Chains A and B, each alone.
Chain A
Amino acid sequence: MRSDGSPSAPLGLKIAAAGGLLFLHLPIFLIFIYAFTTEERSFVWPPPGLTTQWFAVTWNRPDVWQALSLSVRVAAISTLVALVLGTLCAAAVSRTRFFGRETISLLVILPIALPGIITGIALRSAFSLAEIPFSFWTIVLGHATFCVVVVYNNAVARFRRTSGSMIEASMDLGADGFQTFRHVVLPNIATALLAGGMLAFALSFDEVIVTTFTAGQQQTLPIWMLEELIRPRQRPVTNVVAMVVVLLTLLPILVAYYLTRDGDQIAGSGK
């Protein structure tokens, strides 16, 4: 019927698609307004007045800073572990065929395909069986496990696009394996690794379900927020923290998108 290049969509479809996107975005924007409300006790709408005082109050809350610092440290170490494990796995899987290759892909995806509560309680019961006390490292253990898949997905996609002839040329010109890796392979996969690392960081920074099982008494930022949602102490502070968290997670996602936009997609379809 239509073969003239760019057909336009029926009006009903346009409205439904736009409505769906609005449904996805409006609730998040609402947080930004609530961060400025003068109302302390309830969620009353519209806000009776606007103020910036809650930013100062939040700034002076040591518990928020502690939670933020723990979250950043956990996310940094987990990302580092995930980068090493994910890249090794991707390099092995993308370049060769070997027995058990499918099993390894499944193994990497499983921690994210099964509901978080299963990963959480499995780790917790394993810690209790092995009598490992909760610490910074038990949180990292859980986070790194499900962050591997993000790095792996990004790295695998890039390895597939990197042509083998470049590596062969490097070897023909006399470079050894390590030189080839440093000067040819690494520059090629660097942006994919950076994107994967950013996403892994965002994933760890936001994770709450697995963390509730592996954290003991320590509070990451999401655990702090969960506490506030169940037993609110000072609602306006929660509003401000929520807004800052949105802005902080947005940044790595946008960077990851720009790093991988030509060619391979951002590997996120399995959060």
Chain B
Amino acid sequence: MTLASLDSNPAPAVLPGTGGMLGALSDLFWRKPKLLLLLMLLPPVLWLGIVYVGSLFALLLQSFFSIDEFSGLINRQFTLKTYGDLLQAANLDIILRTVTMAALVTFASAIIAFPIAYYAARYARGRWKALFYLGVMLPLWSSYLVKIYAWKLILAKEGILTWLLAKLHLLWLLDGWLSLPVVGGNSLSVSSTGTFIVFVYVWLPFMILPVQAALERVPGNLVEASSDLGASPGQTFRNVLFPLALPGIVAGSIFTFSLTLGDYIIPQIIGTSRLFIGQAVYSQQGTAGNIPLAAAFTVVPIVIMGFYLWGAKRMGAFDAL
């Protein structure tokens, strides 16, 4: 592969041919770098273009079809009826619940992530730095289902959390919380609180990494200057650190927000019977067989993320990715 040839303008072909079939091919690429570029790009672009973008368009197309309520068959005529169905109270409820959860999860992740990211960026050196990095990477990459399963063990009625609270004589607190509407339930493993905890746990590393990257770019003397000028640590945080870390937080929130919007496994395993967008998509396309409505549902996170990404780009979050 004549990579170098792509950089420079090809010299007039005064060199003798290198001989052989491969040599001839190599010479051809040298003379025509565009041809080589085309040949290199063709397989990945064809794969992603046909398999992925093609499927996305097929999905989008189906959201404009509708389902015949009596026969259950899909009517392949363009209509906005399915989008109208999306605006029914029950479906709006699902969308609102999911977006609220995504916002809360993002907020909590940012708060928990900040000290870890700040310590790793400013104080950890050498071995400790590597340890922090692996300490975030390993949970990020370890099995998604195992992580959910671990929390099922922790949150179950007879699990470790109940045991711990009983030892601390705090069971009344848990019972009080579980008796609350909306956030409560039979046990933590079938409550919205449980769903929230597991979401935060599973997406937290996606927040830590960009925040750490943003904080690493803040020069240390800026913080020193702020305290030299008499600012308290709190003031330095509010006026210097936080604004400079914000693009990193926004970058992290792209992941936490988007992943929560689309997930259907966490609320299915640890949560109440109240549906999230992902679960609605899954049940509409599966048991209900209503592919158009499922497709219209997936358009919701796509549109929300479209606006989100547009806003994030304006805040300069993409440089922090």
Contact = CB atoms under 8 A, between A and B. Distances in A.
Nearest to A269: B209
Contacts of A176: 18, 22-23, 26-27
A108 B254 CA distance: 17
Nearest to B141: A253
Interface in B1-54: 1-7, 18, 22-23, 25-27, 29-30, 33, 37, 40-41, 43-45, 47-49, 51-54
Given A118-B262, A229-B152, A208 B144 contact: yes
B87 interface: no
B174 to A, nearest CB: 15
A28 B142 contact: yes
Interface in B109-140: 112-113, 115-116, 118-120, 122-123, 125, 130, 132-140
B285 interface: yes
A235 B61 CA distance: 43
Contact of B119 (A14, A108, A129, A226): A14
A46 B153 CA distance: 11
Contacts of A119: 52, 55
Contacts of B199: none
Interface stretch (B88-96, B176-184, B264-272): B264-272
B146 interface: yes
Contact of B59 (A84, A126, A229, A246): A126
A23 B112 contact: yes
B105 interface: no
B107 interface: no
A230 interface: yes
Nearest to B153: A43
Interface in A230-271: 230, 238, 242, 245-246, 249-250, 253-254, 257, 261, 266, 268-271
B2 A171 contact: yes
Range of interface residues on A (Cβ < 8 Å): 35 or more
A28 B147 contact: yes
Given A91-B3, A118-B301, A171-B4, A31 B43 contact: no
Nearest to A172: B4
B156 interface: yes
Interface string A1-32: 11100111110011011001101110110110
B6 A24 contact: no
B265 A209 contact: yes
Contact of B58 (A28, A129, A177, A266): A129
B37 A92 contact: yes
A23 B3 CA distance: 47
B53 A107 contact: yes
A164 B4 contact: yes
B30 A108 contact: no
A181 to B, nearest CB: 4
A167 B116 CA distance: 42
B164 to A, nearest CB: 9
B227 A1 contact: yes
B44 A86 contact: yes
Given A88-B44, A129-B58, A164-B7, A20 B143 contact: no
A82 to B, nearest CB: 10
B253 interface: no
Contacts of B227: 1
Contact of A43 (B7, B141, B156, B259): B156
A245 B148 CA distance: 13
A168 B294 CA distance: 54
Among A1, A45, A107, the most chain B Cβ lie within 10 Å of the Cβ of A45
A88 B209 contact: no
Among B125, B132, B142, the most chain A Cβ lie within 10 Å of the Cβ of B142
A57 interface: no
B242 interface: no
Interface string A163-193: 0100110010010111011000100000000
A104 B45 contact: yes
A217 B272 CA distance: 27
A160 interface: no
B240 interface: no
Contacts of B142: 28, 246, 249-250, 253
A219 to B, nearest CB: 13
Interface in B51-76: 51-56, 58-59, 62
12 contacts: A16-B115, A17-B119, A21-B132, A28-B150, A31-B150, A45-B159, A95-B3, A115-B301, A176-B18, A177-B25, A180-B4, A268-B141
Interface of A: 1-3, 6-10, 13-14, 16-17, 20-21, 23-25, 27-28, 30-31, 34, 42-46, 81, 84-86, 88-89, 91-92, 95-96, 98, 104, 107-108, 110-111, 113-119, 121-126, 128-129, 141, 144-145, 148, 164, 167-168, 171, 174, 176-178, 180-181, 185, 199, 202, 206, 208-209, 212, 222, 225-226, 229-230, 238, 242, 245-246, 249-250, 253-254, 257, 261, 266, 268-271
Given A31-B150, A167-B3, 14 more contacts: A8-B123, A24-B136, A30-B160, A31-B149, A96-B7, A115-B258, A117-B262, A118-B301, A126-B55, A176-B27, A206-B144, A222-B143, A257-B134, A268-B137
Q: Which 4 A-B pairs have the closest CB atoms?
A: A115-B262, A16-B115, A177-B2, A17-B119
